[in-house]
Chain A
Amino acid sequence: MTAQPFRLPAGGRIRRDEPLSFRFDGIEYQGYRGDTLASALLAAGVRRTARSVKLGRPRGVFTAGSAEPNAIVQIEAPFPEPMLTATTVELYDGLVASGLPGQGRLADEPDPARYDAVHAHCDVLVVGGGPAGLAAAAAAARTGARVILADEQPEPGGSLLDTGELPDWVARTTAELAAAAETRVLSRTTVFGHYDDNHLLAVERRTNHLGAQAPSHLSRERIWRIRARRVVLATGAHERPIAFADNDRPGIMLAAAARAYLHRYAVVAGRRAVVFTTGDSAYDAALDLAAAGVDVAAVADARPRPGAAAERAARAGIEVLAGHAVIGTTGDRQLTGVTVRPLHDGEPTGPAAPIAADLLLVSGGWNPALHLFGQAGGQLRYDPGLGAFLPDGCRQAVRVAGAARGVGELPGCLADGAEAGRRAAQDEGFTAARPLPPPEASAAPEPGAPSVPLWVVPGQDNLDRAFVDLQRDVTVADLARASGAGLRSVEHLKRYTTAGTAHDQGKTSGVLTSGVAARLLGVDPAELGTTTFRPPYTPVAFAALAGRNRGVLHDPVRVTALHDRHLAHGARFENVGQWKRPWYYPRDGEDMAAAVARECRAAREGVAMMDAGTLGKIDVQGPDAGVFLDRLYTNMMSTLRVGMIRYGVMCRADGMVFDDGTVARLAEDRFLLTTTTGNAAAVLDWLEEWSQTEWPELRVHCTSVTDQWATVALVGPRSREVLAAIAPQLAVGAPDFPFMAWRDATVAGIPARVCRISFSGELAYEINVASWYATALWEALHTAGRPLGITPYGTETMHVLRAEKGYPIVGQDTDGTVTPQDLGMGWVVSKKKRDFVGKRSHSRADTSRPDRKQLVALLPPPDVLLPEGTQLIATDRLARPPVPMEGHVTSSYRSAALGRTFALALVRSGRRRIGERLYAPVGGELVPVTVADPVLYDPEGTRRDG
Chain B
Amino acid sequence: MLLIPCPWCGPRDEAEFGYGGQAHVPYPQDPAALSDREWARYLFFRDNPKGPHAERWCHSAGCRRWFNAVRNTATNEVLAVYRVGEPRPVTG
Contacts and interface: CB of A to CB of B under 8 A. Distances in A.
Contact of B43 (A195, A377, A693, A841): A841
Contacts of A685: 18, 58, 60
A264 interface: no
Contact of B64 (A199, A227, A688): A688
Given A196-B76, A685-B18, A841-B43, A694 B1 contact: no
B36 A844 contact: yes
A770 interface: no
A251 to B, nearest CB: 45
| A interface secondary structure, majority | mixed
A428 interface: no
B16 interface: no
A694 B34 contact: no
B20 interface: yes
A834 interface: yes
Contacts of A377: 75
Interface string B34-58: 1010011011000000000000101
A294 B26 CA distance: 78
A866 B27 CA distance: 43
A689 interface: yes
A696 B84 CA distance: 9
Nearest to B77: A395
A653 interface: yes
Interface residues of B, number: 30
A840 interface: yes
B26 A197 contact: no
Nearest to B36: A844
A839 interface: yes
Nearest to A227: B3
Interface string B1-33: 111000000000110001010000011101110
Contacts of A196: 1-3, 14, 76
A547 to B, nearest CB: 14
Nearest to A193: B1
A835 interface: yes
B31 to A, nearest CB: 4
A689 B3 contact: no
B31 A693 contact: no
Contact of A197 (B1, B28, B65): B1
A44 B20 CA distance: 61
Contacts of A839: 31-32
Interface in A191-213: 195-197, 199
Contacts of B34: 840
Nearest to A695: B27
Contacts of B1: 195-197, 199, 225
Contacts of B3: 196-197, 199, 227
A694 B60 CA distance: 17
B85 interface: yes
Nearest to B26: A694
Given A688-B64, A840-B31, A840-B32, 5 more contacts: A196-B3, A197-B2, A199-B3, A395-B77, A841-B43
Interface of B: 1-3, 13-14, 18, 20, 26-28, 30-32, 34, 36, 39-40, 42-43, 56, 58, 60, 64-66, 75-77, 84-85
Q: What are the 5 closest A-B residue pairs judged by CB atoms, nearest first? A: A840-B31, A197-B3, A199-B1, A692-B66, A196-B76
10 contacts: A196-B1, A196-B3, A196-B14, A197-B3, A199-B13, A377-B75, A685-B58, A696-B84, A844-B40, A845-B36
Interface of A: 195-197, 199, 225, 227, 377, 395, 653-654, 685, 688-689, 692-694, 696, 834-835, 837, 839-841, 844-845
